[in-house]
Structure 1
């Protein structure tokens, strides 16, 4: 069993395609297929079901994948630790984030990180808070920026609170409420809403607030992206509630304070299983307690 075989298996599992996996791994498809078949013979089990339409993991492949990912992570971490021992931070940093991060300027932070640690390759993944926490726990990503109701604390990960905020109402400029200095949940409950999908952390903030107030509301549109939510609001299809620190980025909508608005807390989380040198360096750039302060690096060292 060789590391490149594990990389090929992981690539096929993530892309559901031998062709796209080969492109990602920069090899010809026949070589990738040969190595996976060779690994399957060694293991005595097929890892993938192949049809003309799709590729998917077999039960054996699903059982194999977490350990394969751990092996690859361990190999990368070993190389990164050696580099750190001689004064360099290398490896990968996999960052997850919700679309409405407001406590941290992500592009500016990544620019500062890149300037200090140019040998680290950064991958970004956008998603919902619940899914991102699980991905950190599983080791799929290294750190994640979350936004959660103040009643919810991330479980199974190390957590640093970044900021607290309150939600505000977002309406079209010609909406009857647009001239109001403030509203309350009772008044908003009469409106049609655009919101995040049921079960998401973003939706839980508003659902919990209206439920606690004994109010029902009509959510006619469910979307996963805050900018699309704002577009629907601007088109007059409904109203929304979004973090006050995030809404200045939106165009074509009007913001209204909500007297009894729910609170939201932004967190940064990372794995409890140990931090790579790249994660330590990232925490240091963010000035989070516990982050290491590796020597500043520039290309050409």
Structure 2
């Protein structure tokens, strides 16, 4: 057994869910199941009771968990001892961001971070912004870039850096370059490409329900980039923050139609846990990142 296997075991012990644990350690559920099988074969003990409904840690699994935690914590302490040659904050910061955020918001953040804390390095996972908060909540990332929820949440420290209205994006060579009427008329007559989840979808559903509007939905997908890909095919008009159209590969080839004031603006920025915990090395890194997030004049940065 090795440290990767021990960490995978501990992820399953915490979640008691193969799919969730597999996602944390970047394995498929079947690969994680085989890994656990190898550990059970090596130890000669059944570590988990598994059936179609639940996963339960056995008494032998509890003993093995103590051993695994001791090994993993010992490795962490050893590496921290080796790194104590300097008190400079350092380590790997795991960040979750959309592709659009990598084009727009991440570059100035990386510049400020590397100038002041060069020993901090980034590991970036891209994906649907709707997953950002859960990714931070579950500890798969220390920092996320996404739309900030309207309601305050004590669990998260949210730093707004810019706002962007929601718009409908259409292919410049497609059939929906011209649409007319009120927003209600548009959504009830023009095929729409919508995100499956997230703040934009929540606002859209709430608005159409309050207006008793029945939208024409051509497709539902995950992430702004997927919405844009389908809009490029001319299947309909896609609901996205305008920042998506202003950055990266979407600067050309699309036009935008106003969604009106009903759907409001996206407040976009950084999301991290309010509580700073973990090893001393991780705490120093989190404090350094917090320094950058709270002491950078973001309004000036994005006014350039």
Matched, 1:92 2:99: no
Distance 2:256 2:8 in 1: 49
Check conservation: 2:166, 2:240, Cα contact below 8 A. yes
Following TM superposition, by how much is the alpha carbon of 1:123 offset from its aligned partner in structure 2, in angstroms?
1.9
Following TM superposition, by how much is the alpha carbon of 1:6 offset from its aligned partner in structure 2, in angstroms?
2.4
Q: 2:169 aligns to what SS in structure 1?
A: strand
Distance of aligned partners of 1:46 and 1:165 in 2 relative to their CA distance in 1, 3 Å threshold:
same
Q: Where do 1:198-209 residues align within 5 Å?
A: 199-209=197-207
Following TM superposition, by how much is the alpha carbon of 1:81 offset from its aligned partner in structure 2, in angstroms?
9.3
Following TM superposition, by how much is the alpha carbon of 1:254 offset from its aligned partner in structure 2, in angstroms?
0.7
Q: What is the TM-score normalised by the length of structure 1?
A: 0.68
Distance 1:80 1:112 in 2: 25
Distance of aligned partners of 1:46 and 1:143 in 2 relative to their CA distance in 1, 3 Å threshold:
same
What's the counterpart of residue 252 of structure 1?
Answer: 253
Q: Where do 1:39-118 residues align within 5 Å?
A: 40=43, 45-47=46-48, 58-60=55-57, 76=76, 83=83, 86-101=86-101, 105-118=105-118
Following TM superposition, by how much is the alpha carbon of 1:58 offset from its aligned partner in structure 2, in angstroms?
4.5
Q: What is the TM-score normalised by the length of structure 2?
A: 0.67
Check conservation: 1:79, 1:91, Cα contact below 8 A. no
Following TM superposition, by how much is the alpha carbon of 1:122 offset from its aligned partner in structure 2, in angstroms?
2.1
Q: Where do 1:83-232 residues align within 5 Å?
A: 83=83, 86-101=86-101, 105-148=105-148, 150=150, 152-154=151-153, 156-174=155-173, 178-179=177-178, 184-189=182-187, 190-197=189-196, 199-232=197-230
Following TM superposition, by how much is the alpha carbon of 1:220 offset from its aligned partner in structure 2, in angstroms?
1.7
Following TM superposition, by how much is the alpha carbon of 1:196 offset from its aligned partner in structure 2, in angstroms?
0.9
Q: 2:101 aligns to what SS in structure 1?
A: coil
Distance 2:81 2:158 in 1: 23
| Root-mean-square deviation (Å) | 4.4
What's the counterpart of residue 287 of structure 2?
Answer: 280
Check conservation: 1:149, 1:205, Cα contact below 8 A. no
- Cα-to-partner distance string for 1:92-140 (whole Å, 9 max, x where unaligned): 2111124443895213423543454443342222334453322322322
Distance of aligned partners of 1:80 and 1:206 in 2 relative to their CA distance in 1, 3 Å threshold:
farther
Check conservation: 1:101, 1:147, Cα contact below 8 A. no
Distance of aligned partners of 1:72 and 1:80 in 2 relative to their CA distance in 1, 3 Å threshold:
same
Distance of aligned partners of 1:138 and 1:232 in 2 relative to their CA distance in 1, 3 Å threshold:
closer
- Cα-to-partner distance string for 1:252-271 (whole Å, 9 max, x where unaligned): 21112333341222242212
Q: Which has the higher helix share?
A: 2
Distance of aligned partners of 1:21 and 1:258 in 2 relative to their CA distance in 1, 3 Å threshold:
same
Following TM superposition, by how much is the alpha carbon of 1:226 offset from its aligned partner in structure 2, in angstroms?
2.1
Distance 2:69 2:183 in 1: 46
- Cα-to-partner distance string for 1:158-191 (whole Å, 9 max, x where unaligned): 22233332111212225566356x8632132211
Q: 1:214 aligns to what SS in structure 2?
A: coil
Distance of aligned partners of 1:267 and 1:69 in 2 relative to their CA distance in 1, 3 Å threshold:
farther
Check conservation: 2:193, 2:227, Cα contact below 8 A. yes
| Unpaired runs of at least 5, structure 1 | 23-28, 50-56, 290-301
Following TM superposition, by how much is the alpha carbon of 1:45 offset from its aligned partner in structure 2, in angstroms?
3.7
Check conservation: 2:96, 2:144, Cα contact below 8 A. yes
Following TM superposition, by how much is the alpha carbon of 1:194 offset from its aligned partner in structure 2, in angstroms?
0.7
Check conservation: 1:163, 1:267, Cα contact below 8 A. yes
Q: 1:217 aligns to what SS in structure 2?
A: coil
Following TM superposition, by how much is the alpha carbon of 1:69 offset from its aligned partner in structure 2, in angstroms?
8.2
Q: 1:131 aligns to what SS in structure 2?
A: helix
| Unpaired runs of at least 5, structure 2 | 12-20, 278-282, 297-304
